[in-house]
Structure 1
């Protein structure tokens, strides 16, 4: 690394200082990101973008930070492909139809490409204590979200349902991921860290149920069961994981029933959802969100069937879906089809879906041989997002996008830590 020039000397001597100092600063930044995301989502986005800006300084002044290794290259390629498909379709639809609406989706997902410099920079700075920092941050984030809800709830319905995350669904996504990471961490840590993770897991579950979001709660339960099966098969034994999964399921059931019964609005929504699922075409059923979702899915599949390769462009998804359902189309007053996969299919065809799936599956494949503490956390995150996207939008929201990018970056970094002797880390 060269320290010629005033800017270079200022960066290395004042900002960077030394390797230990830089590592500590990056660790504090990551802690702030994961602390804020579940309950203060936009705050986490601001810190995440700040980390990217500082990574650019390393990118500029340290040649080592410009080298991508065998883990980073395929992940960055998958992320770039997802964003570039949006660019191609937005440009083509602008040329053909003169519409710039598709560029909004491009703008919201540029960080899939721009976040790349963060990976090699953090890889050079990582230290063993980052592992505890990462899991502690997720636990503290869940606890902070609940504190915001409990303290602010009596004064604001928005704080009760969404904390400061932006909306209840974003809080639910953060609670699902941070809660499962806390549950996962209970297998690997002891002492005070285990106590903190246990509190964080309960806090995340409380925030998830209190958010009033039914789909994410179902995603949480499915991911928990799949996690027990995969980790039991790969590392701990199925009997070992079955016992712990049973205990976790009992805790989830007791807390969920307690919170749901104490919340008349949520109780009513769940009862109506059960009634609607058992009688999807019943006009007398008061629950409308599920019936509208079913109509959206049918219309979206019909639209995709007409243009499976070219799509209609992100800006035309809802307009096109409405045209394919004359009876329900007038009710499609949403920005998406309430299904991330179907929205991308209608927007950019098969290619859009393939690149979206690559965003999930490539990290899982590349890090399949990572230490169990990293692989299990990655598995929870990827599956949570995949299930969440079946009833909600995925990466057209700045908070959910940056949360995912930050988590995948952290897993790539933590996978470099040496395994601890005698432990299953």
Structure 2
């Protein structure tokens, strides 16, 4: 059987070729690489542009598949695509038992991104260096967001009340994108020591700090420490010195005054979180951010046991909040439960949780058998997604769905490109 011309057998890329950014002439020479770079730049930086590019890439991928030659993907990639589709199918089936068909239909439409994984991957496979192109766009995005964060901190009087959003819909969505971006570039910088990469990493930290988002900052801190520990695991003295320097830098950054004579938002937010937890425990009133989440989670637990197997149907969270919220609730967010796992459990029950676990496991098995950089990038992406899902969501809103599926697609494309020759042959023959 004739091999597809898309695949050429070449040695596995070295560390230098994996971590090097694409130049402007290289982006001009390969339009798929340029599209990947612009897509990852646009998601946190330009409103609506990331979702529009994602849809355009899916349409282009379908056109390329129709025109041929047909791309044959490894079985592990098809397993991931099937797990994504299965979650959407369950949501669609829940229309039969959902209480509000309008909310359920809207929720199903929001998750149509899950079906676009394969078309987008087909397009990304035409790129010469998909992961390097993504890193180029990520670097530009973090530098842009960092510059925006500096201006925001200098000229906005209350950075907690007026949250940093840049091109995302809100600060939490921005951080859900910036945290994996920063972790990915941290892995790259540890290998390459490029100054531009280091500046982008620092810009990512600044963006998360100024955004006044507590959980994303803690997730970024925790996973950064894990990365440093893993990289210097055979050099304990270097790891300890890095830990001390890292802690000192974070401590200084937290209490650095901004242009409006107030400290960076994270230090204020930590104390605020402790106060809100104490207030909620004393009178169980949900008029604070933390208290609001604690009450939403209590509602979700109660609602789950009413329909533990198949849930209440897609998009049922607003209805459940109104139904189970106590009368003393004064400020309840009614669109979701601020927890991905409670969200899935209440809407789709234990079956939905099982499909979500299957999806994440399939993503890991599809990406782990690749080069070390791609495997580690996949690990920090999935870890940050799982941790951020404790107090927020990653499969509910349009831009978040775009980021999740787009990131999986480019990581899978890079994993296939960097696979050993025998595995590529087996996947094509």
Contact 2:164 2:210 in 1 (8 A): yes
**Greater relative contact order (Cα 8 A, min sep 6): structure 1 or 2?**
2
What CA distance in whole angstroms lies between the structure 2 residues aligned with 1:42 and 1:312? 31
Q: Which of the residues 49, 59, 79 maps onto 1:43?
A: 49
Unaligned segments of structure 2, at least 5 residues: 3-25, 421-429
Aligned: 1:59 with 2:62:
no
Contact 2:131 2:414 in 1 (8 A): yes
Instruction: Quote how far apart the aligned CAs of 1:315 are.
Output: 3.0
Q: Deviations over 1:98-128 (max 9, x none)?
A: 73320111111111112312223422x243x
Contact 2:145 2:166 in 1 (8 A): yes
Q: Could you say which residue in structure 2 is the equivalent of 1:282?
A: 282
What CA distance in whole angstroms lies between the structure 2 residues aligned with 1:403 and 1:364? 17
Contact 2:223 2:380 in 1 (8 A): yes
**Structure 1 288/393 Cα, relative in aligned 2: closer, same or farther at 3 Å?**
same
What CA distance in whole angstroms lies between the structure 1 residues aligned with 2:381 and 2:290? 26
Instruction: Quote how far apart the aligned CAs of 1:311 are.
Output: 0.9
What CA distance in whole angstroms lies between the structure 1 residues aligned with 2:309 and 2:251? 44
**Structure 1 119/274 Cα, relative in aligned 2: closer, same or farther at 3 Å?**
same
Aligned: 1:164 with 2:170:
no
Q: Deviations over 1:200-242 (max 9, x none)?
A: 1000110111111111111212222333455666xx6776656
Instruction: Quote how far apart the aligned CAs of 1:264 are.
Output: 7.0
**Structure 1 262/370 Cα, relative in aligned 2: closer, same or farther at 3 Å?**
farther
Number of equivalences? 391
What CA distance in whole angstroms lies between the structure 1 residues aligned with 2:156 and 2:229? 42
User: 247-256 or 409-418: which moved more?
Assistant: 247-256
Q: Deviations over 1:66-105 (max 9, x none)?
A: x332231111111111211111112x125xx573320111
TM-score by length of 1: 0.82
Q: Could you say which residue in structure 1 is the equivalent of 2:20?
A: none
Instruction: Quote how far apart the aligned CAs of 1:284 are.
Output: 11
Match of 2:316, SS state, is helix
Q: Could you say which residue in structure 2 is the equivalent of 1:100?
A: 102
Contact 1:82 1:352 in 2 (8 A): yes
Q: Could you say which residue in structure 1 is the equivalent of 2:139?
A: 139
Q: Which of the residues 52, 71, 84 maps onto 2:89?
A: 84
Unaligned segments of structure 1, at least 5 residues: 2-19, 421-425
Instruction: Quote how far apart the aligned CAs of 1:302 are.
Output: 1.1
TM-score by length of 2: 0.81
What CA distance in whole angstroms lies between the structure 2 residues aligned with 1:279 and 1:108? 36
Q: Could you say which residue in structure 2 is the equivalent of 1:74?
A: 79
Q: Could you say which residue in structure 2 is the equivalent of 1:10?
A: none
Please report the RMSD computed on the Cα atoms of aligned residues, expressed in angstroms. Answer: 3.2
Contact 1:276 1:285 in 2 (8 A): no
Contact 2:370 2:418 in 1 (8 A): no
What CA distance in whole angstroms lies between the structure 2 residues aligned with 1:378 and 1:198? 20
Contact 2:103 2:315 in 1 (8 A): yes
Q: Deviations over 1:107-155 (max 9, x none)?
A: 11111112312223422x243x444332222111111112234456748
Contact 1:272 1:285 in 2 (8 A): no
Q: Which of the residues 108, 116, 119 maps onto 1:117?
A: 119
Q: Could you say which residue in structure 2 is the equivalent of 1:346?
A: 346
Q: Could you say which residue in structure 2 is the equivalent of 1:14?
A: none
Instruction: Quote how far apart the aligned CAs of 1:279 are.
Output: 5.9
Q: Could you say which residue in structure 2 is the equivalent of 1:324?
A: 324
Contact 1:323 1:329 in 2 (8 A): no
